[in-house]
Structure 1
Amino acid sequence: MKIQIVFLAFVVCSAFGQEPRVFTTEDFDLLGQVKSCLVITDYGKEAFEFDRKGLLTKVTTIYSDTDYDISYYKYSRGLLKEKRLENYREDSLDRQTSLAHVYSIDTLLNKVVKESVYSYQREFLDQFQYKYDTTGNLIAVIRTTNEGIDDTQITYDTLRGEITKTINVNGITEHSLRTAEKEVKGQLLRVELEKKYLKGEPYKATESFKDTLGRTLREINFDYDEEKSGFAKSGEVSYIYEEQGFLKTKIQKTNNSEKKQEYIYQFDGHEPSNWIKMIITPDNQYTTRRITYYKDDPPETDGEG
């Protein structure tokens, strides 16, 4: 299950910005020719709209009847060309905080994507250059603002079948990800060890075990122990899935506690079927999805949940 609940962070908080990415219905656990999906929880609403190819075109995050944010996504030949983030307060567009992201792609030699960010007051804010190698791996991000330049370099090292991706911002390591494939109890798993650094010093790590479908089966969390000059386990999370591939059980363990959550779904009558209500026990958190489909993919369904 890729997205368990609403309110995605489309502007990913990282040192080097968010690499331009195209979102589709698949990223939201949506099957078939979905036209729109309104997600309702006990703490808010978010509406997603898609084109007939399944590309995300609009996101509306609703805080109240008069306060909401709208994100628009425009494409050219399947590539992201423009993203607009409009913030409305008291039903009026806030031009000071609304942003336009414009993308251009140069493929003359190795691929380079340029992202320019402007306010709705036509002020230049940021520019990112994403550089790729011949195999399509992101290798550098150059951020230019009115205050200066940030240089992010991304390296890939391979040793005994393990690939380590390291991110350095202005010469300081901020993140690393080591990936390998291992057979565990007769099952081929993708093992990822992610380390986070603060001012170049390690402080957290997570080891994840994923199956061939990309589902996370287990996560082990670590905190850095300065006295021992190494990582110490702080807890782990296990995930169990039901027959259709949706998350069924989540078990969180720390040194002092254990928490178990069960996920219960209600599905619509569409073929292929999508879930329209998810309840998480014992907290009784709920998520309801109202899904509409393109008419040429019968039957059209509006799941009320």
Structure 2
Amino acid sequence: MLKIQVIFLLSFVLLLPFGGASQETTIFKVSDFDLSGKVKSCLVSTDYGKEEYRFNEDGLLTEAITRYSDADYDVTLYKYRKGELLEKRVEQYRDKRLERATSIANIFTMDTTAGNRKVTEKIITYNKELLEQNEYFYTDKKHLSKIIQTTNDGIDETSIIYHEDENTRTAEYFLNGELQQSIRTKTTMQSDTVPIKTISTKNFFDGKPSSAIEKTYIGDGKISSESTLSYDLNLEKFVNLSTVTHTYGPLGVVEKTILKEGANSETKEYLYQFDPFGNWVKQIVTPTNTYKTRKIEYFETQKILKEEE
């Protein structure tokens, strides 16, 4: 099968070994949208369109809507049981009509009868056509160890091998025996109380290094820098293409980003207006003067907590 297929598959599970939860990359939370508190819904308006997010009282995303116009929009629905994802449905609407041929459902089932955890994902169109089946196998430490992907083109197997030392873990992904990707997570301490986590993701083509992304997170998990690299065959090493650094304000929102590409540098600054619950409701980016506004609705429990302060 084409190698591009495994890239899509891995995007679903890349961080699974590090989070300990079975579908961490597909279970989005309030905090993933730069929000805090008991948020019920958030309507984001930009100069290019609108997006809407809805959450349950556990802070899990249940619905995401991207509107291109009043008649054309995409809806993604999430269904959970005891904090685990059971269904993900992506529905496309054009001229306000559901496009059944391009709308799909991801159905997940969990099985522990053999001892270790196994998750089966079936990807089905709304016309009841099975497009793909993925089986995720886990170790007794809840680390993803193997993925079996079945499509009309055949069966592929991705195996994951881990290497660990005192403060570093590396996960290597092999598609049918050929190295596709490695992810190294290293944790150090900036001080006695501030951890620094660096995640280096290297991609391979035909078993040879091709590109990489390195992200650094400081303290409460906010990204500090992100570098994009490419493998230079002549130098036989990765070389930096660009780096973005992020600076945060006292309320935890990004105040400035600096993009460096070679000798060029681009700085953006962010201005905000906040609601009484500490979430921003307007963001202006300079010097481009682009903007976002957010209309945020809270569950009653959040309103009661605010009144009691």
Cα distance in 1 for residues equivalent to 2:174 and 2:108: 24
1:217 to 213, 224, 228: 224
1:36 matched to 2:41: yes
How many pairs are equivalent? Answer: 288
1:298 matched to 2:303: yes
1:195 to 202, 221, 237: 202
Contact 1:96–1:121 (Cα < 8 Å) also in 2: yes
| Aligned match of 1:9 | none
| Aligned match of 1:255 | 262
Cα distance in 2 for residues equivalent to 1:51 and 1:233: 41
TM-score with structure 2 length normalisation?
A: 0.87
The Cα shift of 1:235 comes to: 2.8
Cα distance in 2 for residues equivalent to 1:221 and 1:120: 38
The Cα shift of 1:29 comes to: 1.9
1:161 matched to 2:167: yes
| Aligned match of 1:118 | 124
Local SS of the residue matching 1:223: strand
1:86 to 78, 88, 91: 91
Contact 1:268–1:276 (Cα < 8 Å) also in 2: yes
Cα distance in 2 for residues equivalent to 1:99 and 1:150: 22
The Cα shift of 1:284 comes to: 1.3
Contact 2:45–2:293 (Cα < 8 Å) also in 1: yes
The AA in structure 1 aligned to 2:223 is T
The AA in structure 1 aligned to 2:59 is G
Q: CA RMSD in A?
A: 2.1
1:133 to 125, 129, 139: 139
Contact 1:294–1:300 (Cα < 8 Å) also in 2: no
Contact 2:167–2:188 (Cα < 8 Å) also in 1: no
Cα distance in 2 for residues equivalent to 1:75 and 1:128: 19
The AA in structure 2 aligned to 1:102 is I
1:52 matched to 2:57: yes
TM-score with structure 1 length normalisation?
A: 0.88
The AA in structure 2 aligned to 1:18 is F
Change (3 A) 1:106 1:23: same
Contact 1:293–1:300 (Cα < 8 Å) also in 2: no
Local SS of the residue matching 1:66: coil
1:91-110 → structure 2 map (5 Å cutoff): 91-108=96-113, 109-110=115-116
Change (3 A) 1:180 1:173: same
Local SS of the residue matching 1:297: helix
Deviations 1:69-118 (A, max 9, x none): 11111111111111111111111111100111111101231111111111
Cα distance in 2 for residues equivalent to 1:145 and 1:261: 44
Change (3 A) 1:297 1:15: closer
The Cα shift of 1:126 comes to: 0.8
Q: Which runs of 5+ in 1 are unaligned?
A: 1-11
Q: Which moved more, 1:166-175 or 1:66-75?
A: 166-175
2:72 to 64, 67, 73: 67
Q: Which runs of 5+ in 2 are unaligned?
A: 1-5, 14-22
Cα distance in 2 for residues equivalent to 1:154 and 1:174: 10
Change (3 A) 1:278 1:284: same
| Aligned match of 2:30 | 25
Change (3 A) 1:242 1:129: same
The AA in structure 1 aligned to 2:54 is E
Local SS of the residue matching 2:302: coil
Cα distance in 2 for residues equivalent to 1:51 and 1:238: 33
Q: Higher helix proportion, which one? A: 2
Percentage identity across paired residues of the two chains: 38
